[in-house]
A and B are shown apart, each in its own frame.
Chain A
């Protein structure tokens, strides 16, 4: 127990002194996950809006697939991207395996279904209310989609935060395609896994605390967005 308390103190000191190793890992994690979420949003918003607005054959199936992929296990996503990027894979020539780019790609795959499905739901809910009014105003399907995206902006923001929460916390995909290389592809989650198994509880604990703080911050932001939107009747 004293070991634990001591480790906890050291961990807090690592955080307080902005230990360079710790900082490097945290910043890489944030860079990878924020980039992945940004790219996934650029794809997920139009995907979700299109699924809500356009009527085309296979729309129901596609929606169901996107919904199902929300639960895609990160290790499976990692394995899939690994096969694509490995030397013998179709994208092997790009030599991306074990780079931060590979980790971003894997997390994009994980986050797109989350942002896409939540965007579709938000747009469908709005469309139920707006449909006749927008058609009366003469809006084309594309104009309707853009209107829904803007009017659903606060719910889209919560979708983005949910996607970020998932990306920053996942370990399976970044481990497989990143390889957990020190100072190159070592993220918070992979470092925790490695350091714990090496017995270096201190660094693992410090990273764990940082992750926890990020998770709390994301949740607080979610609640803040919701409250703000409700206050202006934008929810």
Chain B
């Protein structure tokens, strides 16, 4: 199982980090830390250009996260026609990792404030697709 059911539209399936999707199904949003030098990555990656290591361990993205910026998209690309409007966000975790994703539709655009506290959670979508989103902390 790879990325074929990840997000609203997927474009490719295979990757060494496909366990990301398995963890989502288990209810966790995870990313990686290089086993050799300890460098942390988001998006997750098994390969470490800093020490040339090829093994990483998974850890959960949790705890306080803060909204850095956002936009509400009115016109989506192919496959997103029925999805728009949706809000894309960049969110920083307390340990410094910067992440990207969707904001929960439960938060109205007028209630979005830069700097607001958020948390990340896996979400099941229609047609057996799976993703993650940022929700009110």
A and B associate in one complex: no
Chain B residues at the A interface, C-beta cutoff of 8 Å: none
